[in-house]
Amino acid sequence: MEGLNPDQEGRYTARLLRRARLAEWAVEVELERPKGFVFTAGQSIRLFVGGQGRDYSMASGPSGATLSFYVRIVEGGSVSPVLAGAPIGTPFSFAGPHGVFVLRQSPRPVVWAATGVGVAPFLSMVRAGATGFTLLHGVRRSGDLIHGDELGAAAACYVPCLSRKAPKGCFPGRVTGWAGVILVPGRYDFYLCGNRQMIRDFILLVDERFPDSHVYTEIFF
């Protein structure tokens, strides 16, 4: 087995085990887990393709037998199209784990907000045992929701926020729209992961509506 331990540059090598389509614009990639690789739910790896590196948050749990993460396919990109089309068994190198976007103990209620594949670190946290949170997941269509059943089963409140036509049970709008109207004012721990515009807008909302809250962020794109 390749990649039993990191090399002199701190990189591991792992083979592609499985790939699954999550949505028209995203795939789940599963790699073998190198011996000795340890991470905390919420952390990421930097994966290399042809000298280019991209960061991906783990969706798998820290005790999982394999490593999985979500890839937003970027047309003309140097990494995501390779991951979306590489044959099973292809070896990839990666470094990590990286990041401090991890769940912290707190007396305040926890609210997670994600856009698109930004839900990945939250799924890892659920697979590490997290429960009782509020999760807002912003996507365009209901078909873009990822592992909603698993996330909803662990959440105290799971709210799919759809920017296009929203079926029954979904909020018709963005995550900031739900938080700005429905979330009761108070002090929270907010964990925000996804595109930078959502994170910027949510931080402004926290300043206006939820003072003295704590905010933790992870920008995906």
Q: Examine the pLDDT at 58 and tell me if it is beyond 70.
A: yes
Model confidence at 7, in pLDDT bands (50, 70, 90)? low
Query: In the numeric block, which tokens belong to residue 162?
Result: 């759809």
pLDDT in tens, 80-96: 999 999 999 999 999 99
Model confidence at 167, in pLDDT bands (50, 70, 90)? confident
- For the chain, the domains span 11-98, 110-219
pLDDT in tens, 103-148: 999 999 999 999 999 999 999 999 999 999 999 999 998 888 999 9
Q: pTM (2 decimals)?
A: 0.93
- 20 residue type, one letter: A
Which CATH code for domain 110-219? 3.40.50.80
For the CA atoms of the chain, what is the radius of gyration? Answer: 18
Q: Which helix (H) or strand (E) holds 149?
A: helix 148-154
Number of H helices, E strands in the chain: 5, 12
Dist. CA 34–CA 14, nearest whole Å? 6
pLDDT in tens, 10-33: 899 999 999 999 988 899 999 999
Where are the extended beta strands (E) located within the chain? 11-23, 26-32, 44-49, 52-57, 66-72, 91-98, 110-115, 134-139, 157-162, 171-172, 189-194, 214-219
Dist. CA 197–CA 77, nearest whole Å? 21
Topology given in CATH for the domain delimited by 11-98: Elongation Factor Tu (Ef-tu); domain 3 (2.40.30)
